[in-house]
Amino acid sequence: LACLCRGEVMMEALMARRPWWKKRGSSASGKTLDFCFERYDTAEACEGDVEDGTSRVPGVRVFNWLANSRQLHAKDLLTMNVLRFAKQHGMPKWMPETLIVRDQEKLPLMLPFIKERFEEYSIGGEGVARTMQGNLWIVKPAFGRQGMGIEMFDNYGKMADFLSDTSNYDEWPVYLVQKYIERPLLFDGKKFDLRTHLLVTSEPKFYVYPYGYVRVSATEYDTSNTDLSTHLTNVHIQIQSGADEQKSMMSFQELEEHFEGKLSFERDVFPQMITCLSQLLRASVDRLQPDLQKGRFYLYIADFILDEDLNLHFIELNAGPGTNNGLTKAFSHGFGVPYIQWYTQNMVEEMFQKVLDPWFPVPKEWAHSDAPMTKPMNLFKEIPLWDVENENGDKEMHGETSSYHEEL
């Protein structure tokens, strides 16, 4: 059997628990591989059939790659999926108001509507949630990452000028204009978000890893300050701000303990997270399914934020790190925190157990080996697709969550 894992110490350590696998070089043909985590290099490798005699499971190659994966991690496509969903079922309360600017020729027609919404939120008009009242809006490129291209505005004129400047579209052809959540729940006066991982498998099945982690801003929250380090908690921005990893990252359980009983992940967060992801997936699954071939999977990063009323708001889904981006590098800001090490290693190990081991179980000749094997894990929670026929069936859909802390 062949495995492509380029220079990843953690990945190789996890694969060492499966000694019947052999590592192949980065130049190996995709048709000779049984497993590949090199997501961005697999498009060409996935074409055609597996070469005769190269796979123990005929016709199956396990690749971290979906041709339609952008339906979830491209911000404009995901927003369109949610808007189509909203036409039939109403706008989900976890989705901030979002407008897509992709055609500058139509921008003059959009600006009056954007202005109207800006003014409505400014005065706290009818239907505007208390935690979203105010002037702050965020403009972000649909394909951006690490905070690149993001702008904050508290003035409609400046925002309109930015959107009207054709030079801003040279690098980013599509922007999202989104109402900012102005009253987030704060950690010692600083903004924080919640991060976990979403796993899509080829059945299709969908899983969320509930033991995510918290990222805290390095600077105190201030709505009068539009500096990105105050409002964005992503690693790239926080490193530039001199964040201390020991103070800027923690477990969900540590966050609960900080709020001394006022916040319960099991009671306040996890049910909302399941509802959000369930509805997101229901809105997008038809566009994912044509590409769900045997063995394909995809690991996404899911980011959320809580407002001061403990309502969960969706931020975005990102493409999870492949080894060519460096899985360890992606978690390097935080690897000095023992919990982040535990989280990363256990999440990836269980992902292997769900997407790799069922296709390629332990060979008979290794069944009684003394080689260090991994123990079965079951921390990922399966996400049921939202039942459109039972819109009030949240309790049934959430499933059993009472064992959350016991499992941790």
> pLDDT above 90 covers what percent of the chain?
39
Residues 62-99 pLDDT 10s: 888 887 888 999 999 999 999 999 999 999 999 999 99
* Domains, the chain: 1-95+185-408 (3.30.470.20), 97-180 (3.30.1490.20)
Q: Do the Cβ atoms of 387 and 211 come closer than 8 Å?
A: no
> pLDDT value at position 140?
93
pLDDT category, 163, cuts 50, 70, 90? very high
Pick 293 or 245 by higher pLDDT.
293
pLDDT category, 371, cuts 50, 70, 90? low
What's the chain's average pLDDT?
Answer: 79
Question: 358: how many CB neighbours lie within 10 A of its CB?
Answer: 12
Lowest mean pLDDT among 113-117, 237-241, 320-324, 388-392: 320-324
**pLDDT surpasses 50 at 333:** no
**pLDDT surpasses 70 at 244:** no
Mean of the pLDDT values across residues 156-169?
Answer: 92
Question: Can you say how many angstroms the Cα of residue 201 is from the centroid of all Cα atoms in its chain?
Answer: 15
Pick 47 or 405 by higher pLDDT.
47
> pLDDT value at position 49?
45
**pLDDT surpasses 50 at 274:** yes
Contacting residues for 70 by C-beta, under 8 A, at least 6 apart: 77
Pick 79 or 236 by higher pLDDT.
79
Residues 184-216 pLDDT 10s: 999 999 999 999 999 999 888 999 999 899 999
Joined together, the tokens standing for residue 48 give 């055609």
* Helix, strand, coil abundance in the chain, percent, nearest 5: 40, 20, 45
Joined together, the tokens standing for residue 89 give 């079922």
Q: What is the pTM of this model?
A: 0.85
Mean of the pLDDT values across residues 340-352?
Answer: 89
> pLDDT value at position 394?
44
CA angle at residue 10 from 146 to 369, to 5 degrees? 155
